[in-house]
Amino acid sequence: MTEANATARLHVIVEGHVQGVGFRYFVEDVASSYGLLGWVRNRWDGSVEVVAEGPRNFLEQLLASLYRGPRAADVRGVAPEWLPPTGEFKTFSIRTSAS
């Protein structure tokens, strides 16, 4: 298995005008199109949090999409963190907001 295809975990906080603009649905659509597993949720501070696992090259594509977001979004900051995968996810889902 090449490094690009190696399974990885990506944790990202996206800041800006990213709530109320379909951002979570955008992330779910992109992640699902790459076959990634994990979740996305709104956070109390107005940011969006994403955790995804899958082939590193597809996670990098997801990350590139997070910098753009959906048309109505205004992304001001993206903070990615690469971690070892846990294999805990079966799907990619939208979670309820973090308090």
| Distance in angstroms (rounded) separating the CA atoms of residues 58 and 75 | 20
Indicate which CATH number applies to the domain containing 17: 3.30.70.100
- Domain presence at residue 97: no
Is residue 4 over pLDDT 70?
no
Q: Which residue has the higher pLDDT, 5 or 27?
A: 27
What is the pLDDT, as a whole number, of residue 1? 52
Q: Which domain holds residue 38?
A: 3-92
Residue 77 within a domain:
yes
pTM: 0.93
| pLDDT tens-digit map of 25-62 | 999 999 999 999 999 999 999 999 999 999 999 999 99
Q: Is 13 helix (H, G, I), strand (E, B) or coil?
A: strand
Alpha-carbon 38 to chain mean position: 8
**Active site members:** 24, 42
At 11-22, the pLDDT tens digits run 999 999 999 999
Q: Identify the three-state secondary structure at position 66.
A: helix
Whether residue 99 is contained in a domain is answered as no
Can you state the angle between helices 56-68 and 23-33, rounded to 10 degrees? 150
| Position 98 in a domain | no
Summarize the confidence of residues 64-87 as an average pLDDT. 97
